[in-house]
Amino acid sequence: MSGAAPADDPFAVLLAVQDLDTAIAQHQHRKAALAERRELEQVRARAAELQAAAVRLDAQRAELAARLSHLEQQAEAVASRRRALEGRLYGARGAAGRDLQAIEAEVDQLARRLDELEDEELAVLTEQEPLDAEAARQRGELGELAARAEQLSAQVAEIDAVLDRELAELTRRRQAEAARLSEPLARRYEEIRARLGGTGAARLVGDHCDGCHLTLPSMEVERIRRLPPDTVVTCEQCGRILVRSWPGGS
């Protein structure tokens, strides 16, 4: 970008302000659209998604753990009852046959119940195994995402620091140039720039407006050429202020 515009040419100053506004907008867009920033947002979004999935998975695992603990408690109670009955059975050799049969029947029933509980425990453990594996996988991916997020954050901070310094310098230069504009010209420029998405002034290059890139009618171009140099001219196509006398213009 060129240095300060000639002080005796208000339209040259206006174009310098416009060029600086364009450069500022480009820097702001580059900052907002950094590939590293987009990836960082994606990494954080994936981490949040994974953390939510981990919460749901932990709830499933906790439910299975509670079921397994309950089954283990039941199994221990059944085994304890069976041991007690077996002790009574071995110590009751002189007891009546009917009593011994009742004890033996209950021992057999408890043995079957113990088998059932062991089968249920095995089923829970089988159900729990893939959930534990998925939990381990999630922890691994979350660790990788955290490392990548840290790396990207450092890269974004570094690039932002450079862009912020450049933006500060561009803004300083823009303020200095804008202060040289007359109040009516500055106000009109700002109004047009606000209405037309950031571009309020454009060069007239031959018969083309460098703002909308449309060709002006030859009669309109000729009329503009005959106007006094200090006349504010706007493009009849887009409404931007046309600058006729500036390096690269007509």
pLDDT digits (tens, 9 = 90+) for 119-135: 999 999 999 999 999 99
Q: According to the model, what pLDDT value does residue 35 have?
A: 96
How much is the pLDDT for 100? 81
Q: Measured between alpha carbons, how far is 63 from 66 in angstroms, rounded to an integer?
A: 5
**Residue 92 pLDDT grade (very low, low, confident, very high; cuts 50, 70, 90):** low
pLDDT at 245 over 70: no
Among 112, 107, 110, 108, smallest CA distance to 85 is for: 107
pLDDT at residue number 162 = 97
- Ordered domains of the chain (ranges, CATH): 29-178 (1.10.287.1700), 182-243 (no CATH)
Structure tokens at 221: 């171009």
Taking only the tens place, the pLDDT of each residue in 18-64 is 999 999 999 999 999 999 999 999 999 999 999 999 999 999 999 99
Q: How confident is the model at residue 186 (pLDDT cuts 50, 70, 90)?
A: very high
Q: Is the dihedral of CA 167, 168, 171, 173 positive or negative?
A: negative
Query: Which residues, including other chains, have CB under 8 Å from residue 173's CB and lie 6 or more apart?
Result: 20
Helices (H), 179-239: 183-195, 218-226
Q: In the predicted model, what is the mean pLDDT of the chain?
A: 91
pLDDT value at position 90?
76
Residue 85 has pLDDT above 80, yes or no: yes
Residue 40: which of 130, 126, 150, 140 has the closest Cα? 150
